[in-house]
Structure 1
Amino acid sequence: MNRTLNFNKPWILQRADPYVYKHKDGQYYFTASLPSYDAVVLRKASTLEGLQEAEEVTVWEKHETGIMGAHIWAPELHYLQGKWYIYFAGGNADDIWAIRPYVLECADEDPLTGTWIEKGKMGSADNDVFSFEGFSLDATVFESRGRHYYVWAEKVGVGRQISNLYIGEMESPFKLKSQQVMLTTPDYDWERAGFWVNEGPAVLKKDGRIFLTYSASDTGINYCMGMLTADEDSDLLDPGSWKKERLPVMQTDESYGIYGPGHNSFTKDEEGNDIMVYHARIKKEIAGNPLYEPNRHAMLMRINWNHNGRPVFGF
């Protein structure tokens, strides 16, 4: 029962970019970035509380050479067309910042014990010469009106590049059908602290609307969350269908001791309540590069809904 959960406190330690998937049989699955950035792990439990102490199983490890050989980031587990898929980003062992999105597939019933095969880099549409050619990461997948969409972050520009969010309709679990469409670029000051970044998309649906949260700025205490909203009946590949919030929907709050909240996912508890899974720090001071400081902890937040049917994110 969700009353046993301790919201907005460290739930699973040192697990950044947390992702929870609730399967059709009611089982919960958890994955996240490891501080070592060298493998993909999964946990399984019948409750959200149970994930906290569940055995963590390594289902895939980075390559020693070449692609998928460094910076294994932000895995997500999805169940599509009767198979399991893990979407993650990885660098090249010989060029660690050559980050690209990759796909793993498992046809077995249990993704923790099944065999995972590499499907390679996510495929762009046949007429798309832009997608996944630069620094690309943080992919998520969602379904709407019988169509599946892939949303990801990709850097563009010259010099110090900018990370934007893009969307494309999927032809298969490992290939896009449509050309990329940009959903958002860092327009505001709160998206430009340290780096100009929009990344870490996550989708929450309710009453015919799609709420797409994303993370902004550098990975330290400036990290925060923005949000886009679209009508589920609209053309989701039309940027005009999405309305962007002027201000962040969640950010550092020293009074609660939560610093740099972001890179979230959404699930439901055993009672059907909407739950956000996110990472945050509990200390303001960070020693060294925040990307390699391990103390980003997975946390849970109960999502409330206001009278306008919009999600409320609050500590």
Structure 2
Amino acid sequence: MLFRMLSLLLLSSVSFAQTFTNPLLPSGPDPWSTYVDGYYYYMHTTGNSLKLWKTRSLTELPKAETKVIWTPPAGGPHSKDIWAPEIHRIDGKWYVYFTAGDGKSGDNRRLWVLENASADPLQGSWEMKGQLTDASNQWAIDGSVFEHRGKYYLIWSGWEKKVSTDETQNIYIARLKNPWTVETERTLLSRPELPWERNWSNTAGWKPKIPVLVNEGPQFLAHGKKLFIVYSASACWTNTYALGMLSAKDDADLLKASSWTKSQEPVFQQSAENQVFGTGHNSFFKSPDGKEDWILYHANSASDQGCGGTRSPRAQKITWNKDGTPSFGKPIPSGQAIPLPSGTR
């Protein structure tokens, strides 16, 4: 009898070790990660600095090595509202792309770039390379960089131009000359035109003085011969903050708007049944063995919690439809056991 109990306890511990639960951290809006040489480097919005996590598994973030790698100056154009950071390894150097403003006006938010030549981004020094902008120099947030067929591209959320009647955030793309310089004019890929993209009042009845119509947080995903840009739509303070998707062929001209097809319905959205609300600002990562694709996103655990610190990072596996498009499923409830990404050790 004792032997059987010990065996059951051992099996239980093994089973527990092979799963994880969401959320990955109690708080962490706009989660991002990259996998380099056996480590995941993870970042999320803190608002007042750039903090980096280093871990063998994203499911072990609470135990990860962490460091604040950059603190903004007291004043100036990149001193406040430090949002949506992403760390990338490009041509042997590390780059962090982030949103910042001067704190005087929300109209002054732009994209910025830091560089570090150290092999380990938790070591060495971070140099400000400056603002990352196309010729329009319009309001811009949520910059993300990806490589395709030997060329690097920037995708972001921005205004067409400043107007007083509303704030409309669109998705743009441009090609990069180098990691801190835009080479081409921007191309408009998506604007918030579908009904589910245009929610800006929460269920409690709160809304800003003018409409805020949102496409933001664009992220690149490739699979087979198809390319995707997955973005967040509707205002982040609504429960209906959800993911939309643009699709293109891998041999298309990515700077032509006609190369991209927009999904007419959200591809990932809240689940009141599972108590997951405001699903958005995602990124993607591979399992350690490279065999699985996963989505990393933030969400709230209760209705109308808005855009604050209650947003927590969560992960779940992506499956693929027969036509080569991703299937994200429904948000998994907090506390439900999820098998670890394959190759996790």
Flag whether TM exceeds 0.5 (same fold). yes
Q: State whether structure 2 residue 42 is matched by structure 1 residue 30.
A: yes
Shift, 1:66, TM fit: 1.1
Partners of 2:42 and 2:326 lie apart in 1 by: 23
Amino acid aligned to 2:193:
D
Partners of 1:225 and 1:2 lie apart in 2 by: 31
- Which residue in the other structure is 2:324 paired with? 309
RMSD: 1.7
- Which residue in the other structure is 1:150 paired with? 154
Shift, 1:5, TM fit: 4.3
Spell out, residue by residue over 1:213-261, the C-alpha distance to the aligned partner (whole angstroms, 9 max, x if none): 0001111212110000111101001111101000000111101111010
Amino acid aligned to 1:105:
E
Shift, 1:114, TM fit: 1.9
- Which residue in the other structure is 2:260 paired with? 242
Q: 1:6 aligns with which of 17, 20, 24?
A: 20
Amino-acid identity (%)? 35
Aligned residues: 301
Map 1:168-207 → 2, pairs under 5 A: 168-194=174-200, 195-207=212-224
Shift, 1:93, TM fit: 3.5
Spell out, residue by residue over 1:14-41, the C-alpha distance to the aligned partner (whole angstroms, 9 max, x if none): 1000001011x1211100001xx10000
Q: Which runs of 5+ in 1 are unaligned?
A: none
Please identify the structure whose Cα radius of gyration is greater. Answer: 2
Kindly indicate whether the alpha-carbon contact (under 8 Å) linking 2:111 and 2:133 is maintained by their aligned counterparts in 1: no
Sort the Cα spacing of 1:52 and 1:310 in 2 relative to 1 into closer, same or farther, 3 A.
Answer: farther
- Which residue in the other structure is 1:224 paired with? 242
- Which residue in the other structure is 1:16 paired with? 29
Partners of 2:274 and 2:17 lie apart in 1 by: 20
Q: Give the structure-1-normalised TM-score.
A: 0.92
Where do 4+ consecutive residues of structure 1 move more than 3 Å?
1-7, 93-97
Kindly indicate whether the alpha-carbon contact (under 8 Å) linking 1:4 and 1:49 is maintained by their aligned counterparts in 2: no
Q: 2:49 aligns with which of 21, 39, 45?
A: 39
Q: Which runs of 5+ in 2 are unaligned?
A: 1-14, 201-211, 331-345
Sort the Cα spacing of 1:5 and 1:228 in 2 relative to 1 into closer, same or farther, 3 A.
Answer: farther
Partners of 2:256 and 2:133 lie apart in 1 by: 21
- Which residue in the other structure is 2:98 paired with? 88
Sort the Cα spacing of 1:304 and 1:177 in 2 relative to 1 into closer, same or farther, 3 A.
Answer: same
SS in 2 for 1:17: coil
- Which residue in the other structure is 1:116 paired with? 126
Amino acid aligned to 1:103:
V
Kindly indicate whether the alpha-carbon contact (under 8 Å) linking 1:214 and 1:263 is maintained by their aligned counterparts in 2: yes
Amino acid aligned to 2:327:
V
Greater strand proportion: 1
Kindly indicate whether the alpha-carbon contact (under 8 Å) linking 2:232 and 2:244 is maintained by their aligned counterparts in 1: yes
Amino acid aligned to 2:277:
Y
Spell out, residue by residue over 1:62-114, the C-alpha distance to the aligned partner (whole angstroms, 9 max, x if none): 22111111110000000111110000000104335411000000001111122
